[in-house]
Amino acid sequence: MLGQGNKNILVFPTLVGALVVALLLSMCFGAVNISLDEIVSAFGKVYSNAGELTLNERIFMGIRLPRAILCLFVGASLAVGGVLLQALFRNPIVEPGLVGTSSGAAFGAALYFVLGAVFKVNAGEWTLPIAACAGGILSTALVFTLSQSGQSGRSSIVGLLLTGIAINALFMSGVGFLSYIARDPQARSITFWNLGTLSGASWHAVIITGTSTVLCIAVAMRYTKHLNALMIGEEEAQHLGINIRMLKLTVLAVNVVMIAVATAFVGVISFVGLIVPHLLRIINGSDNRFLVRNGALAGAILLSIADLAARMILRPAELPIGIVTSIIGVPVFIILLRRKNYFF
């Protein structure tokens, strides 16, 4: 692209560098600090299959490393989800949960916490992720189906937005009801899950979330030009040869898979999906080709730092990460929005 070229060249390597730093920091620091030597030695022993791992090395391989990597994937998913939905809805206040995905997932999780024991439904460590993922997909499907049945049989993007808000309210009141009838420990679980935590990270979670994140972002990259065209309007995008219906379906499908899977393992993490697209637009303009690629990196960095803070602030106890993302994110966001050269 003309003009903005020079700036773009710097943004990508800066983000890659920051990602490496954030990953190293989040591998080293936590309830137990792990030195770089221990990390190198742990990798060496696992690779050559030689020697007993020390306690710290076992903590690193079994807990810290999967958590650090899961953090990257979840952060990338949330940020790219935000980029996609803001572009699809042509609306800067949208976050990835808007089409019902995270409220549905929260409802699925709450159902499990409150009624799981009653109905003796149990799939081991998978029960909660499955319940949450199913809830997220179900509610998004509901939003999409209900928004289709307008008078003309076409679903407008505004209709989708409004239906999303309504269904979100419905599922959140469902979560409220379940918290209300729950016993105290169950209610605490619901609250904690709704604020997000990465403490349950496992290698299974890393593999599943990683697969969905990488595949979904790869698909999203193919539609960035289409989303750009959508910025000047639905009709105008059609005049530029874009099939809006297909675009809408694809972007929603990508978003729901990415967000439902990520949310299933870590709970509801607010604000990352809203703030990252705006941060990048301020730095680098609104071209979705850059927003998707750089958003994945920036989301991963931001969530790594937030998770690090969540582990460090009350060490050895942990804060829910959703609290940290809001405490860091809100002031930064407000300061940036007040800059004179960011227009809406």
Partner 1 sequence: MLSAKNITYSVAGKILLQDVSVDFEPGKFNLIIGPNGAGKSTLVKVLCKQLPVSGNGGVYYGEKNINSMSIGELARVRSVLSQNIELAFPLTVTEVVMMGRYPHFTGKPTQKDSVACEEAMRFFDVYTLSERNYMTLSGGEKQRVHFARVLSQIWFPVPDAFRYLILDEPLTFLDVYYQFDFMHKVTALLKNKDMVVIGVVHDLNLAARFADKVALLHRGKVMAVGDKHSVLTKENIMAAYHLEPVIHYKNEEMYLFF
229 binds partner 1 (CB under 8 A): yes
- Residue whose pair of structure tokens reads 């997909």 in the numeric block: 137
164 versus 322: smaller Cβ distance to partner 1 = 164
CB of 79 to partner 1, least distance (A): 16
26 versus 86: smaller Cβ distance to partner 1 = 86
8 versus 56: smaller Cβ distance to partner 1 = 8
45 versus 225: smaller Cβ distance to partner 1 = 225
159 binds partner 1 (CB under 8 A): no
| Member of 241, 316, 335, 338 binding partner 1 (CB under 8 A) | 241
| Member of 90, 187, 207, 214 binding partner 1 (CB under 8 A) | 90
CB of 148 to partner 1, least distance (A): 18
| Member of 16, 162, 240, 332 binding partner 1 (CB under 8 A) | 240
27 versus 242: smaller Cβ distance to partner 1 = 242
| Member of 37, 52, 184, 235 binding partner 1 (CB under 8 A) | 235
What does the alpha-carbon distance between residue 182 and residue 180 come to, in Å, rounded to a whole number? 6
What does the alpha-carbon distance between residue 202 and residue 62 come to, in Å, rounded to a whole number? 8
CB of 86 to partner 1, least distance (A): 8
Part of the chain binding partner 1 (CB under 8 A), chosen from 28-36, 70-78, 119-127, 285-293: 285-293
Q: What are phi and psi of 92, to 5 degrees?
A: -75, -10
Asked if 102 contacts 263 with a C-beta cutoff of 8 angstroms, the reply is yes
SS3 per residue for the chain: CCCCHHHHHHHHHHHHHHHHHHHHHHHHCCCCCCCHHHHHHHHHHHHHCCCCCCHHHHHHHHHHHHHHHHHHHHHHHHHHHHHHHHHHHCCCCCCHHHHCHHHHHHHHHHHHHHHHHHHCCCCHHHHHHHHHHHHHHHHHHHHHHHHHCCCCCCCCHHHHHHHHHHHHHHHHHHHHHHHHHCCHHHHHHHHHHHHCCCCCCCHHHHHHHHHHHHHHHHHHHHCHHHHHHHCCCHHHHHHCCCCHHHHHHHHHHHHHHHHHHHHHHHCCCCCHHHHHHHHHHHHHCCCHHHHHHHHHHHHHHHHHHHHHHHHHCCCCCCCCHHHHHHHHHHHHHHHHHCCCCCCC
| Member of 46, 214, 238, 336 binding partner 1 (CB under 8 A) | 238
249 binds partner 1 (CB under 8 A): no
3 binds partner 1 (CB under 8 A): yes
Part of the chain binding partner 1 (CB under 8 A), chosen from 131-139, 159-167, 211-219, 231-239: 231-239
Q: Is the peptide bond before 316 cis (omega within 30 degrees of 0)?
A: yes
Part of the chain binding partner 1 (CB under 8 A), chosen from 109-117, 141-149, 256-264, 280-288: 280-288
153 binds partner 1 (CB under 8 A): no
49 binds partner 1 (CB under 8 A): no
| Member of 54, 91, 122, 145 binding partner 1 (CB under 8 A) | 91
3 versus 185: smaller Cβ distance to partner 1 = 3
338 binds partner 1 (CB under 8 A): no
118 binds partner 1 (CB under 8 A): no
**Residues within the interface to partner 1 (CB under 8 A):** 1-4, 86-87, 90-92, 225, 228-233, 235-236, 238-243, 281, 285-287, 341-344
